[in-house]
Chain A
Amino acid sequence: MEIYLQQLPQQLVNGLTIGGVYALIAIGYTMVYGILSMLNFAHGEIYMIGGFTGWWVLHLLSRQNVPIVNAALLISLMLILSMVVTGILGMGIERFAYRPLRKSPRMNLLLSALGVSILLQNLVLNYQGAKVRFFHVTSLIPESIRVFQVGNVVFSFTRILVLMVAFMLMVLLTVLVKRTKIGKAMRATAQDPEAAMFMGIDVDRIVVFVFLIGSALGGAAGTLVGLLFTQVDYYVGFQAGLKGFTAAVLGGIGNIFGAMMGGILLGLVESLATTFFPATYKDVVAFIILIIVLIFRPWGLMGEKIPEKV
C-alpha cells in the first residue's frame, strides 16, 4: 500500500496528461453525435492520420533525427498541419460517406462509417507499411528543460506541453461554442436541426464545420500522443478511438463539456489501474468501464436521462 501511495502523485500527473488527450478525441465523437446522432467510427483513424502527419512534418524537417528548424516552430507546425490535414479529411468523409446517407436507417450510416475506418486504416497500411514510426523528440527539446522533478514526481517537458496544448484547445473550443455566432448555430442545430433550418441556419454548413473542428482536435491529439509516447503506427486509431468514445460516453454523449471531463476521468482511472493490474490489462479495464457505463448509465455519469418520445 505504501508503494502505491508513493506512486500516486506521479500516476495522477500521467493520468491527467493522457486524459487531456482522450478528452480531445472524445470531443470529436461527442460533437458529431450531438448533431447527427451518429457514432463516427472513423474518428480513431482521423486521430491516427493526425499522428502520421505530425510524424511526416517532423521527419521532413529533420536531418539525421536532428531538427533543422527552431524546435518551437517545428512543434507548432506539426500541430497546425496535422489539424489542417485531419480537418479537411473529416470534411471530406462527411461529404462523401455520411451526407448521402443522412436520411437512411442508422445502421447504414454506422456501416458506412465502419467502411471509412477500414478504408483509411488500410490505405495508411499500404502506403506507410506496418512498421512503427518513431518521433525523435529527444533532440527536439534542449536537455536542460527535458525533465523536471518536484518531490518524487517527474514532469517531462513533453508531458507539460501536451497538457497545456490540450487544455488550451479545450478552452478555445468552449469559447467558440459558447461565445460566437457559429457556436450558437451549432448548439441550435444539435437541439433540433429542422427548427434550426427554419431559423435560417445552413445546417449542412454547420455539420461540415463540426466535422472540421472535431477532426482537427482528433488530429491534434494524434500528434500530441506522438510527442508523448514517441511512436505511431497504422493501428493506433482503433484503440484510441475506443478510448475516446468511452470518454465521450462517460461524460454523456453529445455534451462537449462532459466529454472533456470524461476524458480526464478515464485517463486518471486508467493510470491508477496500472498500479494494480498488469499493464497488458489496462485496455481491458477501460473497456469494462465502457461496458458498465453503457449498460447502467447510457446517458453518462453527469447527463440526465431523456425519456423516449413515443
Chain B
Amino acid sequence: MGSIPYSGGWLTPPGIDAPLGWLLLLPLLGALATAILGSLLDRRFAGRAAPALAVAAMLATLAMAVVIFFTDVLPVGARERIFRQPLFPLFVVGGVRVSFGLVMDPLSAVMVLLVTVLGSLIHLYAAFYMDGERGRPRFFAFLNLFVFSMVLLVLADGFVPMFFGWEGVGACSYFLIGFWFRRASAADAATKAFIVNRVGDAALLIGMAMLLWGMGGVEMVTGSAAGQLGNVVTRTGPMVETGEGLQPSPGRVKIPVGPTLDFHEIRDQLRLEMLPKASAGTAKADSGETADASHDVHFRPAAYLLNRKALGRLPFIFVACVMLLLGAAGKSAQLPLYAWLPDAMAGPTPVSALIHAATLVTAGVYLLARLSFLFALSPAALTVVAVVGTLTAFVGATAALVQNDLKRVLAYSTVSQLGYMFVALGAGAPGAGLFHVVTHGFFKACLFLAAGLVVHAVAANTPEAADRPDLAQDLRQMGGLARQLPLTRWAYFAACAALAGLPFASGFFSKDLILTSLATDDRLSISTPALLVVLAVTSFLTALYAFRSYYLIFFARPAPPAHQGETAHHGGLGDRAMTGVVLVLAVGAVVVGPALGWPDNWTSTHAEGPFHRFVASMFEGDWPRREVLRTPVVVEWGMQIGGAVLALLGWAVARALYRDVAATAPARRRLGERFAGAQRLFATGWQADRVYHLLAVAPVRALARAATWLDRAVIDRAVNGLAALGVRLGRVAGLFDRHAVDGVVGGVSQAALAAGRRGARLQNGRINSYVLGIAMGVAALVVLAYFLGS
C-alpha cells in the first residue's frame, strides 16, 4: 500500500483540501438569511420567503456534502479517507494548544450525509407543514442553525469545536421545542430538555477534563539529553498505522504528544502508549539538526490515563469513560437522562423528526463511536455502556407500549432504539451502531412525518382539536384513517416494519448486526446472554408497540365521517409534497438496510455490505480482537431467524389486539386489569419524573428551604442585631452631638450674638457720641503712649 504521507499525525493523509468549511458556512448563512431576509420579505412573498431561503440553504449544503463525498471521500483508498482541515487556532493554555479544525473521515461522512439528506427532506416537508403558522422565519432560521451545529458537531476534529456544535444543537433543540412558547407545556418541555442536557454536559466536561489531565503523560529521559527536553511537543516514531495494527513505517512519522483535546492526537498518543514495549516503547527524540541517537526518551503519553486510580480504587480511564458516557446519555436520552425526550415532542412535528429522532439524539452515539478507541481500553466502561443501552431499550419499549399520545409512542421508541445503538457501542461494534443510526434515521423520520400528516388529518376531522392540540395526537381519537390517507398508511407500515425488524426491512439488518455483535463479544464483564434475553423481549415489544400504533391509527375503528374540508385539505400541493417526502423516506426505510449492509453470511464469500466496508477502516486497529474473531455462522443465522420470528410474533399480537378495538375490548380490559401496576409504571416512563424529583428537584428544593431558613434565622438575625446595635450607637452619638457638639457650637454663636448686640449699641447713629468716642480714644492712646513711651 506504499508509504503514508505525513502531515501532522499518523493517520493524516495527503493534504487534500476538502472544502469542509462550506458544509458549515452554507447552513449558517442560510440561518442568517432566513432570520433577517426571511423576516423582512416574508410579508411580500406571502410567507414563503423564510421557508424558501431555508430549503435553498439546506439543498445547497446537501449538494456540497454529496459532491465532497463522491469526489473526495469515496474514490480514495480506504485507509486514506481522513481529511483534516485545520481552520484556525483557538487558544493556548500552558502546554495545551486548542485549535478549531475539521475532519472528514468515514464516521463524519456518514453522519454528514445522514444529517443533510434527512435535513433536506424534512426542511422540504416543514416548508409545507408549517404553512400558516406564525413565526416561520424564527422556525426555519433555527432549523438551519441546527443543521449548522450538527454538521459542526460531526465534523469537529477535537473536543472543543465539537462542544460548540454539541451546545449549539442543544440550544436549537431548546428553541424549537419551545417554538410554541405560549403553551406552558412547550415552554416547560424546552426547559426540561435544556436542564437535563446540562446535567449530561457537566459530566461530559468532567470527562474532557480528565482526558486532558490524563494525556499529560510522563517521560523518562536518559542520556545526555536529560534535562534539556522541556515539554516536548514533537517526536518521531518508528511505527505507523497500516490497518493490521502498528507496523514499522517506511518513513519517519511525527507524533505530537502532550495534553491535548484533539481526537486524533489522543488516539495517536494512546496507540503510542499501547505499542509493544520491545519495538516502540522508546520513541526517539526528534532533536532536529542535532540528531543524537544516544538519547533514549521513554515517553508515555497516557500513563496517567491508563495507570492512575480515581474515586478511590476505580481505574482513571473507567471513570473518564463513564463521565463521557453520561454526557452522551444526556444527548441521546439514555438511562438515566431519558425523560426529556418524550416531553420534547411538544415541538412541531418536523422538529421531532429531524432533531429528536434522526440526528441530534444520535450525537451521543456519534461521540462514543468517535471515542471508541478510548472505550476499547476499558472493558468495564464498555460493560456499563452495554448495560445502559440494554436497559434503556427495554424501558423505552415498555413505555412506548402504553402511551396514548402518538408522538410520545414514537419518542419512547426513539429512546429504545438509541438504547440498541448504545448496546452496539458497548459490544465493541461501533460500525453496527452507526448502521442503526442510519436506518433508524430513515424509518423514524418517516414515522414522525407520517404522524404529522395523520395529526393534520385528525385535526381536520375533529373540530374540537383546534383548542386542544394534544387531542389531534391522541391515538384514541384516531382510527379508520386507512381510506383517507392511503399512501401515508403504506409509508407508515413500511417504517413500522423497519422499526419492528420484520425480515428484509432495514431495521432487521441493523438490529441483527447489533445482536450478533453482542452475542460474540467476549470483552464484557457481564453475561451477554442476559442482555440478549432482555433485547429479545425488547424486539418483541418493539414490533408490538409499532404495529399497535399502526392499527390504532389506520384501522381499529370505523372510518370517520368525511369532513367537508377533507378534499381541499387533501388535494393541495402541500399535502402532495409532504406525502411525497414521506414516501421517499419510506422507501429509504425499507431499502437502506438491505442495500448498504447485508449480513455477511448471506453471501458465499462472506463479503460485508458497502456500509460496513466503508466505515470499517475507521475502527479497525481499535478493536484488535474483533479482527480475529469470525462470528460463527450458526450464531448469525440464529440471531436473524430468532429476530424475525420475534418481530413477526409482535406484529401478529398487535394485529390481533388492535385491528378491531371493539371486538377485543374485553380481552384488553382483562389484560389491563391484570397488569394494572405495570401499565401505570410504563405509562409514566418508569416514573422517571418522580425519580428526578426525588433525586434532583426535591434535594434542590430542600436545599433552597434550608438556605431560606439559614437566611432568615441566622443571617437575617445577625444583620438585624447589627442594625439594632447601629441604632443604639447612633442614639448615643446623637446625644453627644446634641449636647456636647451642639452646645459648643451654639455657645460660640450665642457669644458672638451677644457681643454683636452689645457692640450694636455703640452704633447709635449719633455723630456727637462718635466724636466723643474718637476723642476719648485718642486721649487714651496719648496717655498710653505717654506711659509706654517713657
Q: Do A and B come from one complex?
A: no
Interface on B for A, CB 8 Å cutoff? none
